[in-house]
A and B are shown apart, each in its own frame.
Chain A
Amino acid sequence: MKQQTGKKDSALYVGIDLGTSRSAISASNDIKDWVESYVGWPKDFIAAKVLGKDVLFGSEALENRLSLELYRPLERGVIKEGIERNEEAVRELIRYMIGLVKPQPEQKIYAIVGVPADTLKINKLAIRKAVSEYVNSLMVVSEPFSVAYGLNLLNNALIIDLGAGTVDFCIMHGSIPDENDQKTILTAGDYVDEQLYSYMSEKYPDSTFNLNMIRQFKERYSFVGDTEEAIHVEIPVNGRPVMHDITNEIRRACESILPAIIDTTSEMIARFDPEFQAKIKRNIVVAGGGSLIRGIAQYISNALKEYGPCNVRCVEEPLYAGSDGALKLAADMPEKYWEEL
């Protein structure tokens, strides 16, 4: 990301996407990185000794979860204890992520933080508080909006952000999206996992698997529509690894969220006048981890076609679409605005 003025070069601009399941950061020094949104503190001092750390993040935290108090701070809930610990988890996560992009000592940091669309209803102030310790100035923005800004989709477009806990829809029509332009539904990635779990339990009652394994299968093999080849995975049965065909289960689970997505899409588009409808339909973009489901754009596009031509595509880098957009916002933001914040 290029900076326009010499003055700006002295500061480090960062775009952060704080997700429920994954968080990413993009910085103006061209460093990007991501982490699974888990923060864990050792349960007791023995655990702390064994782990050799005061706090663990991402996959490392997940791997050691039995010795940790584990938080997924942006999930709509806490697992234990109260709100303070959750806010602290956000604070730790931010500190860690800013560390990942290696700011110079004393370098000023200006940050735009994208949060799940429904976090706007929670407590933006708490998020500000958590972030502000580590940056000189910051702004909080809703995630689909930063994705749209990053892709230069300021007008005539619909963003479908398919995350873990929610699918967020956002229509861009040349102004800041208002209440009517955004909608959230709850059957998203986690729901696919649950469906897959139940289909597989039904088909293979004697096999041993858990939700983490299920999620890995999904992320590895997800698809909708037709597939060229069958999907086989190894799962223990009575302690022995056995190959299981899960092709249909994967397809059914992935497709289970599509009717609601398609309904919501056509319903949101239908609110606009026909000319605008036609334009939006040529500009539908699927983002978020769910956009990696093979065939998803084609499937949605086929389903919407009966009401006229449409074009659905997936973002190129779902992991960084939000943080890159936030970085672009940060870089474009006039200097004087930063000073006020």
Chain B
Amino acid sequence: MMKLLRRETQLRQTLLKALYDENLRVIGKKPATKASRFPFLKGRLLFLYVMLLLFSFGYTDYLNPLVSSNDAVINATIQHRNYAGDYPDEIFPSDYSSLLNETAVPLKRVFGLEVKTIIIDAGHGGDDPGAIGTLGTMEKNITLDIAQRLKERLEEHMRYNVLMTREKDKSLSLKRRIEIANSSKADIFISIHVNYLPAKPIDIIETYYFGPSSDENTLRLAAKENEGSRYSLSDYNEVIQKIGNTLKLQESRVLAAQIQKNLFLHMKTLNKNVLDFGVKRAPFLVLLGVDMPGILVEVACLSNKEEEYKLNNPNYREDIARYLEAGIIQYLLNGRSNS
């Protein structure tokens, strides 16, 4: 018992001392631990080193004008909601404030300063028009336009390398899309689609990452979006079952959550009736194939006539791109917890 107590006291003292040292370092009163990753650094030293590293990231970032300009961009996106006066402000101020409170934008957190590569996949194209609205609007054109706008917006940050699987209206098999994404060594993969729900006059936003699903609607959608491949889902059944909770999967889920959250909460301010169908898993082959974290977002609903009108307005498409951007940036700035 005595021994136990002594051990605990010792442990306490070690912890207090380590905390003290760490704080000294923060204010620069002690020389920094050499930044190297040797095994002997494990334990306490490693902890201090990590703290130091994290701190220095935070600090550089604090001084980094790029990040504040990100903030400005994203802040601007939040304030910008009454564009062109086309869509009346239907939301009550109290709703608006609470929505704003929910849509935090990253301040100054980064986990790395290296350039990230983002690959954007505009769904369908060429012979494959995707969904077609009652006015004749084709999914393939909407996805390409939004993808291009998103690319431009991301490039303005000057710190992302942005690629597209297609830049024109051309046919592209899922296999080819996967090859392009994987050879680009991108960090994240964003596939843009537009939903079509003939049976219901509703308007929804939903974001998917790869995984098994038992929901019939989801499976039907997956079958539709998988059409461009020569494979059938059953070819992949085994893989789908085996896929565990890998890092890619977890990251994809976080990415999907950020995108869904930003897109939905902002679009809701423009369109009160839009519903949040949330983040879901679905066996989209394109998401299975890519090596990096990836998501597929259904940004709007072409089956809804009002929505189809809006999608024909470039301002509306720009808004969608802007909120996709906000989600991606938020993910890149805070998304990964351990990487």
Contact = CB atoms under 8 A, between A and B. Distances in A.
A184 B47 CA distance: 17
A82 interface: yes
A178 B97 contact: no
B24 A126 contact: no
Contacts of B57: 121
A176 B62 CA distance: 27
Contact of A183 (B101, B334, B337): B337
B19 A139 contact: yes
A51 interface: no
Given A212-B94, A341-B27, A154 B8 contact: yes
Nearest to A112: B19
Contact of A193 (B42, B54, B68, B102): B102
Interface stretch (B145-153, B212-220, B275-283): B275-283
Interface band, chain A: 35 or more
Interface band, chain B: 35 or more
B150 to A, nearest CB: 21
Contacts of B16: 329, 332-334, 337
Contacts of A174: 11
Interface in B79-135: 79, 92-95, 97-102, 104-111
A80 interface: yes
Say what secondary structure dominates the interface of chain B.
helix
B55 A82 contact: no
Nearest to B67: A83
B75 interface: yes
Contacts of B254: 185-186
B26 A124 contact: yes
A79 B101 contact: yes
Interface stretch (A5-13, A69-77, A315-323): A69-77
Nearest to B46: A178
A332 B20 CA distance: 12
Given A120-B54, A125-B26, A198-B275, A191 B107 contact: no
A1 interface: no
B50 interface: yes
Nearest to A267: B245
A79 B265 CA distance: 14
A118 interface: yes
Given A121-B111, A178-B50, A139 B20 contact: yes
B187 interface: no
B171 interface: no
Residue among A75, A80, A124, A193 with max Cβ neighbours from chain B (10 Å)? A124
B107 A77 contact: yes
B44 to A, nearest CB: 6
Interface string B1-37: 0000000100110111111100110110100000000
B261 interface: yes
A86 B104 CA distance: 13
B109 A122 contact: yes
B100 A123 contact: no
A123 B276 contact: no
Contact of A66 (B42, B93, B276): B93
Given A79-B100, A154-B12, A185-B254, A122 B18 contact: no
B114 to A, nearest CB: 16
B46 A72 contact: no
B261 A140 contact: no
B190 interface: no
Given A139-B23, A341-B27, A175 B99 contact: no
Nearest to B276: A198
A57 interface: no
B202 to A, nearest CB: 9
A298 B46 CA distance: 35
Contacts of A121: 54, 57-58, 109-111
Nearest to A174: B11
Contacts of A163: none
A165 B94 contact: no
B98 A78 contact: no
Interface in A275-324: none
A280 B97 CA distance: 42
Contacts of B50: 178-179
20 contacts: A65-B97, A77-B71, A78-B71, A120-B55, A121-B58, A121-B110, A121-B111, A122-B109, A139-B23, A154-B12, A175-B44, A176-B14, A178-B47, A179-B338, A194-B264, A198-B264, A211-B99, A263-B245, A329-B19, A332-B12
